[in-house]
Structure 1
């Protein structure tokens, strides 16, 4: 099976959004470059966004360095895992995730009645079941776990193979933490991916077992 990667865009001080779930300037680098790139499912990238939850038909323009990194990463995604908070914020991208064919939602509440029955969205109670379900659905492709509370739970449970961070030079001061409520140390190896884009630094770390 493929790897399980915890991922999100993050501020220098470790936040993926402010207290109001606004990402502020965190996603500006998706639109400030000169190289067009389109998510596999032609949707906006991960994360809560205030300006357009659907993003259908939107092309992104990133730096050449970011395009060479982000494009293959998006293409390799088979399934993603998200929490109910993000699902509600983006309304599950109306059943069309930015990348991958399947989504697993960690929630004690079921899928909303009548919500896009054709979409491969699976609602489970806990992160262990979520990772197992996503890996089965993804096959040999990558499982992406959205950073935040659910991502932190997956890391704490030893279910994450790599941590991927798109670090943007902004300090939030407070907000939604990349690692959620994680409360103990976890060692990672030195980054095996270090790519400088325009207004973003792409980093990937292997989680030590």
Structure 2
């Protein structure tokens, strides 16, 4: 069965976006290096440090399916029909995707599910034995609270935002993670990876 990793770029105080959904300086590290990081599904490239490339490129290449919430879909306009990572994308939503968007992107490898549990199950089915990436924030926090997340990956940026969208959404309660098995210092970012302790 596919493993599920919750991932996001996060401030030191635990926010993945400001209250207005902008990211402020969180993504600056994507543009401060000389090595081209490539999101193959979308074709996007980012000049990052060599250390960040060596960590992030293999991670992105292993992602088969990305799982996002409807809010992120609407905020990004569905990334123009191209998954940010992986070959397919599942949107957790209680509403159909906009007809105009579907008509404009008839070949988009996007699927929908009506709940977090159904979304994770569909993403795992699509990924086979691969990797499912759940975006951090409210959706990721719901999956984490439901015990559906196997791994946590964070790109920690040295900034304190003070308010905004929390990495773990509204999750409360104590969950133990194993010690980090990956700690990589990039330029203005620290890449961390944990396994959720079962």
In the superposition, the TM-score normalised over structure 1's length comes to 0.90
Q: Take 1:98 and 1:109, find their aligned partners in 2: how far apart are those partners?
A: 22
Deviation digits for residues 17-50 of structure 1 (CA, Å, limit 9, x no counterpart): 000001000001011012122211244xxxxxxx
Give, in whole Å, the separation in 2 of the partners of 1:192 and 1:150: 24
Matched ranges for 1:41-190 at <5 A: 41-43=41-43, 58-114=44-100, 115=102, 116-190=105-179
Shift of 1:178: 0.3
Contact 2:82–2:109, Cα closer than 8 Å, also in 1: no
CA shift, 1:141, in A, is 1.7
Task: Count the aligned residue pairs.
Answer: 195
Please state which structure has a larger fraction of its residues in strand. Answer: 2
Q: Secondary structure at 1:140's aligned position in 2?
A: coil
**2:11 paired residue number:** 11
RMSD of aligned Cα (Å)? 1.1
Is 1:198 the counterpart of 2:153? The answer is: no
Mind listing any 5+ residue stretches in structure 1 that lack a counterpart?
44-57
- Residue matched to 1:54: none
Q: Deviations over 1:37-93 (max 9, x none)?
A: 2211244xxxxxxxxxxxxxx521111111011111111110010011100011111
Where 1:38 maps in the other structure, the secondary structure is strand
Normalization by structure 2: what TM-score? 0.95
- Structure 1's consecutive aligned runs of 4 or more residues displaced over 4 angstroms after TM superposition are none
- Mapped to 2, the partners of 1:39 and 1:104 lie a distance apart of 17
Higher helix share: 2
Q: State the match for 1:51 in structure 2.
A: none
